[in-house]
Amino acid sequence: MMSGSIFKQKKGETMSKKNIAVLGAGKMGLGIAQLFATKGHQVKVIYVYDDKIRCDAAAVVRDNLSVLVENDVMTQQEADAAAARISFVDTIEEVADFADVVFEGIIEKLEIKQDYFAKMDAIFPPTTILATNTSAISITEIAEKSVHKERIIGTHYWNPAYLVPLVEVIKTKYVSDETVQATYDLLKEAGKRPVIVKKDVPGFLANRMQHALFREALNIIEQDIADPADVDDAIKYGFGMRLGICAPVEVMDMGGLDLTYNIHSYLFPHLCNSTEPSKLLTDNIAKGNLGFKTGQGLETWSKEDVEKANKELTEGLIKVARVLGRL
């Protein structure tokens, strides 16, 4: 990482707790708010759209914290203290003199994000970092309508944000080194594992790899090579188990680049290289089969199945993180 930071501190001092604002009270926004609150930061969540009536945001956070208490990640006293550090406001103006950093987590539509960032850029002091949690949209494009583009950066969290350590820190052609460093340091202090994405490309880093896997998984199902459940089991009980310990670059070096080359030379012509979404996806969407939210996707999901899957995901991530020392 480069030297220098917007958040100035004396040599030998630990980073002071910065005030955090989160734009949007959806799943990701509340997850980010919860993360920083558990690390001792004061957090203000800004309601947008129908956030206030769509769900009880404070209750969602309390429920998430309860799961952590039940799994001995924190005490009830710590959970109560974290919840007390989060407050909710109705307008951006209410946090203008409060926030050191704003994390945006609103709808994935470019023009809406551009307008919100332009508004925040006009309201917040130039030293306030403005970060977007977009998982797909160009950070550079999001910053286009803003004046102080040097303080706008991408921070792509993974759901649930309070459990998955990775945060992709995405640079733009405008962002300053100081903004990148300050964001990186803040995330490290919060216990995350930030990685620097040096180019603002579609999919950033991890989603490019994830969706390459999804494309091949859909192709395998579409070609009737294996059933959906067996595709998932091949990951869960196969190489997926080791990915958190030994990832692709390590695996290739471990096995030998000559072996990787030989496999690629034979295998690549047989893999899916389509530049369009799978017909399996488009056909299911046309039928209204959207997955958990409709009860039918590539597989059938009852209400009980959905609740079980969500519970297993959260508790499974806690167990894995604990074993790997990443909690």
**Which residue has better confidence, 46 or 1?**
46
pLDDT at 50: 85
Average pLDDT rounded to a whole number, residues 56-76: 96
Quick: pLDDT tens for 301-311: 999 999 999 99
pLDDT at 10: 41
CA distance 18 to 44: 12
**Does position 1 have pLDDT exceeding 50, yes or no?**
no
pLDDT at 14: 52
By three-state DSSP, how is residue 315 classified? helix
| Number of Cβ within a 10 Å radius of residue 171 | 20
**Does position 5 have pLDDT exceeding 80, yes or no?**
no
Quick: pLDDT tens for 216-230: 999 999 999 999 999
Residue 158: closest CA among 109, 215, 206: 206
- What are the C-alpha distances in Å from 149 to residues 52, 208, 228? 30, 25, 44
pLDDT at 4: 44
Beta strands in 80-178 (DSSP E): 86-89, 101-104, 129-132, 152-157, 166-170
Residue 327: closest CA among 136, 130, 74, 70: 74
Contact indicator for 94, 44 with CB cutoff of 8 Å: yes
Residue 25: closest CA among 14, 33, 17: 33
| Number of Cβ within a 10 Å radius of residue 308 | 12
98: tokens are 């409060």
Quick: pLDDT tens for 93-144: 999 999 999 999 999 999 999 999 999 999 999 999 999 999 989 999 999 9
Quick: pLDDT tens for 8-61: 554 444 568 999 999 999 999 999 999 999 999 999 999 998 888 888 999 999
CA distance 139 to 197: 11
The residue type found at 177 is: D
pLDDT at 15: 61
pTM as predicted: 0.91
Name 104's bridge partners. 23, 132
CA distance 118 to 149: 10
Quick: pLDDT tens for 159-201: 999 999 999 999 999 999 999 999 999 999 999 999 999 999 9
226-258 burial, b for 16+ CB within 10 Å, e for fewer?
Answer: eeeeebeeeeeeeeeeeeeeeeeeeeeeeeeee
Beta 129-132 vs 101-104: how paired, if at all? parallel
**206 confidence band (pLDDT: 50, 70, 90):** very high
**Does position 279 have pLDDT exceeding 80, yes or no?**
yes
First to last CA, the chain: 24
Radius of gyration of the chain (CA): 21
pLDDT at 8: 53
All domains in the chain, ordered by first residue: 20-197 (3.40.50.720), 206-323 (1.10.1040.10)
CA distance 194 to 176: 17
Residue 300: closest CA among 244, 227, 201: 227
Average pLDDT rounded to a whole number, residues 237-260: 96
pLDDT at 225: 98
CA distance 179 to 231: 41
